[in-house]
Amino acid sequence: MFVYADNAATTRVSDAVVAAMLPYFTEHYGNPSSTYPLGQEASAALIRAREAIAACLGCLPSELTFTSGGSEADNQILRSAAAWGKAHGRTHLIASAIEHHAVLNTLEDLKAEGFSVTLLSVGPEGVVSPADLKAALTPQTALVSVMLANNETGALQPIQQLAELAHGAGALFHTDAVQAVGHVPISLKNSPVDFLSASAHKFHGPKGNGFLFAKRGFELQSLIFGGAQERGKRAGTENVPGIVGMAAALQEACDHMTENTKRMEEARDALQEKLGVLPGTRVHAGTLLRLPGHLNMAFEGVSAEALLPVLGMAGICVSSGSACASGSPDPSHVLLAMGCSPDEAKSSLRFSLGDDITPEQVEYVAETVKREVERLRNLHQRR
Ligand SMILES: *Cc1c(COP(=O)(O)O)cnc(C)c1O
């Protein structure tokens, strides 16, 4: 059996999305900046895509900028907000310690440019505490950046409350919503969120496509200079098929969110229960609100490094945390921030189920993981 349970790393592009994209490679292949009809067809497709995404999120089409993905969106927002801060005498930035490296490493770079950075830790359930943010805010704070849902644990963050606190101190608020968009309801209408980042390949769209939301009135900075595409904020000929696919994928995800959530939650809860039968297991971030498909679990005495290839051979795709962290022997910065020991972090697996998961697949994953964990534990004991 083959089970893809690593949807937090990337997702399969849905068949309907591929079908929506294809004509924009071969038929409507014009450059959207060209004025003849072939170009204007492409330009019209971009307008429709922007409108569809805006409708899904409850924002204005003009508040969206297309990017090459979540990382670029995070980079552009952080740099733009930092520039705004500098112009207003604010050179302090706050983020959570569990952010994606697209945020953390951009902040590292901004430090070298003279900004000071505070990283907020999280409680044992992987959630940022509003009280901690309140204590960290200063009159110099330019931006607070806290993700909507964590990619390793799925833990949802109280961004509404955090954004209001940031505003109370005169700071801007960004949320990296890459794991959340298309998976949980999001409405930017009347929301205190100033900036949001998203990535198509996390919701069954194509890789290398994303977008950022920046509230009306805010002047973004460019990362890429050149032509006047994206209102002069992101130069380069638009990835028309990719953008069409991203909009189709988000539309599909939003249209089916209720039933997808139910199916994924039921499967995830069943998997958690079946694996919980093993002694020496612990669920990370299991008691508060989580993304529907996420399960992050520690298996005492077994390293993920040993378990992953065995599961891979059995046709099961899971991971030990973020795609960027796997391959490096370092324990997850997210689990460490939650208070896990390095050993426990290294013995943890992340399952992120897809919306096509079946009960048979759940059963297969549970039985295989249990068998292999027990086998590896016995091996260690005999040594
Ligand atoms: C995947 C991911 C990103 C990066 O998005 P890309 O499109 O792969 O660059 C950023 N933040 C989070 C939370 C992610 O899960």
Q: Give the 3-state secondary structure percentages of the chain, helix then strand then coil, rounded to 5.
A: 45, 15, 40
Domain boundary among 203, 228, 255: 255
Q: Is the distance from the beta carbon of residue 165 to the nearest atom of ligand 1 less than 6 Å?
A: no
Rounded to the nearest angstrom, the distance between the alpha carbon of 269 and the centre of ligand 1 is 25
Same domain? For 272 and 161 the reply is no
Find the helix or strand (DSSP H, E) in which 316 lies.
Answer: strand 316-317
Could you read off the pLDDT of 317-337 as tens digits, one per residue? 999 964 444 556 689 999 999
Q: Which atom of ligand 1 is nearest to the CA of 73?
A: 9
Atom of ligand 1 nearest to the CA of 149: 13
- 222 and 237 share one domain: yes
Q: Can you give the pTM of this predicted structure?
A: 0.97
Q: Which of these three, 229, 255, 281, is where a domain ends?
A: 255
CB 122 within 8 A of CB 146: no
Ligand 1 contact via 7 beta carbon (within 6 Å)? no
Neighbours of 228 (CB within 10 A): 10
Per the structure, the count of domains in the chain is 2
Q: Are 33 and 136 members of one domain?
A: yes
Please give the number of the atom of ligand 1 that sits closest to the Cα of 9.
1
Q: Is 210 in the pocket of ligand 1 (CB under 6 A)?
A: yes
179 lines ligand 1 (CB under 6 A): yes
Which whole-number Å values give the CA distances from 172 to 98, 168, 218, in the listed order? 19, 10, 10
The H or E element spanning position 282 is: strand 281-284
- Compute, in angstroms, the gap from residue 206 CA to the centroid of ligand 1: 13
Nearest atom, ligand 1, residue 99 CA: 13
CA 21/CA 205 separation, integer angstroms: 10
Helix (H) or strand (E) holding 136: helix 130-136
Per run of 10 residues, the mean pLDDT along the chain (length 383 residues) is 98 98 98 97 98 98 98 98 98 98 98 97 97 98 98 98 98 98 97 98 98 97 96 97 98 98 98 98 95 98 95 97 58 96 96 98 98 93 69
CATH value at residue 287: 3.90.1150.10
Both 262 and 228 in a single domain?
no
Question: What is the C-alpha separation between 180 and 100, in angstroms, rounded?
Answer: 13
Separation between Cα atoms, residue 174 and residue 383, nearest integer Å = 50
* Cβ-contact 290, 155 below 8 angstroms: yes
Q: Supply the CATH number for residue 229's domain.
A: 3.40.640.10
Cβ neighbours for 2, distance < 8 A, ≥ 6 positions apart: 315
The answer to whether residues 281 and 361 belong to one domain is yes
Residue with CA closest to ligand 1 atom 3: 70
Co-location of 272 and 288 in the same domain: yes
The reported pLDDT for the residue numbered 120 is 98
Give Cα separations from 6 to 13, 329, 330 (angstroms): 14, 19, 19
Residue 206 and residue 328 in one domain:
no
Name the token pair of 128.
């940022």
Q: Give me the active site residues, please.
A: 324
Question: Does 206 lie in the same domain as 281?
Answer: no
pLDDT at 296: 98
Q: List the structure tokens of 267.
A: 């499967």
Q: Which among 255, 290, 323 is the end of a domain?
A: 255
Q: Can you give the pLDDT at residue 330?
A: 85
Is the shortest distance between the CB of 102 and ligand 1 below 6 Å? yes
Domain encompassing residue 282:
3-11+257-382
**Do 243 and 262 share a domain, yes or no?**
no
pLDDT of amino acid 325: 47
Which one, of 273, 250, 280, lies nearest residue 366 by Cα? Answer: 273
Radius of gyration of the chain (CA): 21
Give 165 Cα–ligand 1 centroid separation in angstroms.
25
CA 40 / ligand 1 centre spacing (Å): 31
Does the CB atom of residue 100 touch ligand 1 within 6 A? yes
- For residue 383, the CA-to-ligand 1 centroid distance in Å is 41
Quote the pLDDT of residue 383.
Answer: 61
Cβ(319) – ligand 1 distance below 6 Å: no
d(CA 74, ligand 1 centre) in Å: 9
- Ligand 1 geometric centre to CA of 6 (Å): 13
Would you say the CB of residue 199 lies under 6 angstroms from ligand 1?
A: yes
CA separation for the pair 113, 109 (Å, rounded): 7
The answer to whether the CB of 144 is under 6 A from ligand 1 is no
Whether residues 75 and 134 fall in one domain: yes
Q: Are residues 249 and 136 in the same domain?
A: yes
Q: Are 335 and 284 in contact (CB under 8 A)?
A: yes
CA torsion angle 39 45 51 56 (round to 10) = -150
Question: For a substitution probing ligand 1, which of 7, 157, 178 has the most ligand atoms within 8 Å of its CB?
Answer: 178
Residues in contact with 176: Cβ distance below 8 Å, sequence separation at least 6, in sequence order: 70, 74, 99, 100, 102, 103, 145, 147, 148, 196, 197
Residue nearest to atom 6 of ligand 1 (CA): 70
Residues 280 and 196 in one domain: no
Report the distance separating Cα 110 and Cα 32, nearest Å: 34
* pLDDT for position 328: 60
